[in-house]
Structure 1
């Protein structure tokens, strides 16, 4: 299978870690003014409004091979870092597109959280197998619980006290939405750290700040892209310079055909690593998606998975593959794995995981707000 689209991850460095101006306290207080929820609500409304697609509609997408590649990347992460019976916390779980991945990895318990109410309802119907757009092969083997709320704004330790500790936390293509302010970025990492057991794993995917800033500086103006995406920065970044002392709130507008059209935020990798360390995380790796694909396609089982998903054709008669423009979009993202410090304790805590159900009614979705 050929991937005839050259390109290697950028070697340019993102802004260095700032001196920590704010400290998280056990009471959850921050010395920063509360962030306006306008942009956060725009993101939630965008994903709530997206309708589920039939298989025919999905296959007709101009970025269908990119979607399949992203599914492959997530599948590889899930398979590599999930053990049988693991308790899973899926942050920004969306419509439940990764449920089958967790089932194949033989997860034992699943909690999904998302800010978009419409997405949570779709996730519920997908879990139950009631959505006519989604072809299910069998009933999911793990009990589940769904929560609607902003996991980058609200404290989750008390809400999930009876569900924790989790063995693995996943946040796919969403963590950058927490980077609008330092308080939100800290809340996200504080929640994950509080809910993960020592030795637990945090996996995720998000935009690659190095690549995006590199492309911005190579562009003539403040907008760049190709036939399937564009990114536009506001005039405040007309000098294309970013202060290392202000690594939060660097907003840009992102449009990806048949997928995304909302504000996003830069996540400088060095700052991400530095902040994660404050919350007892060790960085296992961070790799641009191009590098991740090339490295993991050396393993036969991953080649077979890629064949089945069809991102690079089926390795047989179907020679269709990512377009050069889709491959360029893949270059905008990276995959990461963090590990919670401490000695692992794998003793099952079954008594704390009986809140999940094998069939979810509408009233089973827990709605949480800042009042919680």
Structure 2
């Protein structure tokens, strides 16, 4: 076991999460690439960057202990790539002031954990994306994993609706703000009918964990809007169940080797794995390089999308067959991007939104 391996990787949740992050690194990292990892504390993926034969690694984290741990590991293991570390919060501080000539040097910027905490306020999310843009070279990619708010919000709305449809005599036995499965429990602080753009907090606790973690929902249309304002163009936001199905031929063996009870003999996700992976989504943005090719353009959203009364999400559900996860996705609607796959990190098929935002 690696010196930096996570001690809880035996749980279904951690094995699936580590698989997804490893798969993303394998897809994006390439030899001699310059990589910046945000919230890198713990250094859980240093071996993965080593395998990808990157040229330089830059780690940024708000925790001094996390930075110290990963720096010591790099020095003791004598990595093939060069590395440097910075203790700062990319949601609050101006990276250009700290790094100076080191900006616009990264081929890849990744955030494999904690992106959701940046959506506590619009200012924090905006600062993060501005910092990402300043770090990336033209043509570079910003990618990572975050909880899939579409799935979580739809499950929450389903619970609230079921609660209010129950007779009053049964209500004391039900907690409408709590989502439960055999693998996890999600608890919202307050009941709300509409999806706030920023600061909607919830606690996620997996059955294998001693305590839960507090997160904020990521409002994906706002994520895309702020990214574009920072000079980053949307490429894809895709639920991890779809990400796995799209890349099953390449990654099924990796997931099989992660331990038992994750996939069937044909490499298809088992129901519990599908349920856990469905809580997360990938996100991919690119900083356009006008000197190489026409930039990838994020389609313009209608101005009405940002009106206060229209920009909250109304979670709706479709069928009650979440466990198979192999139904054909219905079209999504969001202005001119209704035909693009995964635009809202839509989650498993029965939890997709049936109407345009």
Aligned pair 1:150/2:89, yes or no?
yes
Of the three residues 223, 231, 255, the one matched with 1:306 is 255
Aligned pairs for 1:161-180 (under 5 A) are 161-164=100-103, 165-180=105-120
* Distance (Å, rounded) in 2 between the aligned partners of 1:91 and 1:115: 9
Q: Report deviation, 1:223.
A: 0.9
* Distance (Å, rounded) in 2 between the aligned partners of 1:169 and 1:67: 23
Aligned pair 1:210/2:150, yes or no?
yes
Change (3 A) 1:260 1:122: farther
Change (3 A) 1:105 1:322: same
Does the 8 Å contact 2:263/2:273 carry over to 1? Answer: no
- Partner in structure 1 of residue 202 of structure 2: 252
- Partner in structure 1 of residue 217 of structure 2: 266
Q: Report deviation, 1:79.
A: 1.9
Q: Which runs of 5+ in 1 are unaligned?
A: 1-51, 130-137, 346-372
Aligned pair 1:280/2:235, yes or no?
no
* Distance (Å, rounded) in 2 between the aligned partners of 1:228 and 1:312: 13
Aligned pair 1:230/2:185, yes or no?
yes
* Distance (Å, rounded) in 2 between the aligned partners of 1:282 and 1:259: 39
* Distance (Å, rounded) in 1 between the aligned partners of 2:43 and 2:135: 20
Change (3 A) 1:283 1:157: same
Q: Report deviation, 1:339.
A: 0.6
How high is the TM-score relative to the length of structure 1?
A: 0.66
How high is the TM-score relative to the length of structure 2?
A: 0.69
Q: In the comparison of the two structures, how many residue pairs are matched?
A: 273
Change (3 A) 1:290 1:344: farther
The secondary structure found in structure 2 opposite 1:309 is coil
* Distance (Å, rounded) in 1 between the aligned partners of 2:289 and 2:82: 28
Change (3 A) 1:231 1:128: same
Change (3 A) 1:202 1:234: same
Q: Report deviation, 1:73.
A: 1.6
- Partner in structure 1 of residue 316 of structure 2: none
The secondary structure found in structure 2 opposite 1:284 is strand
Q: Which runs of 5+ in 2 are unaligned?
A: 164-175, 293-357
Q: Report deviation, 1:338.
A: 0.7
Does the 8 Å contact 1:94/1:119 carry over to 2? Answer: yes
Does the 8 Å contact 1:228/1:326 carry over to 2? Answer: no
- Partner in structure 2 of residue 99 of structure 1: 46
The secondary structure found in structure 2 opposite 1:271 is helix
Q: Report deviation, 1:183.
A: 0.6
State the Cα deviation string for residues 149-170 of structure 1 (Å, max 9, x = none).
Answer: 2111111012122333111000
Of the three residues 196, 200, 209, the one matched with 2:140 is 200
Aligned pairs for 1:58-73 (under 5 A) are 58=8, 61=10, 63=11, 65-73=12-20
RMSD between superposed Cα atoms in Å? 2.8
Change (3 A) 1:160 1:279: same
Does the 8 Å contact 1:173/1:207 carry over to 2? Answer: no
Structure number with greater CO (CA < 8 Å, separation at least 6) is 1
* Distance (Å, rounded) in 2 between the aligned partners of 1:259 and 1:110: 32
Change (3 A) 1:292 1:228: same
Does the 8 Å contact 1:69/1:311 carry over to 2? Answer: no
Change (3 A) 1:335 1:260: farther
State the Cα deviation string for residues 310-339 of structure 1 (Å, max 9, x = none).
Answer: 4766999xx999874454222111011111
State the Cα deviation string for residues 86-136 of structure 1 (Å, max 9, x = none).
Answer: 11110011200011111111111111111223322322233234xxxxxxx
- Partner in structure 2 of residue 81 of structure 1: 28
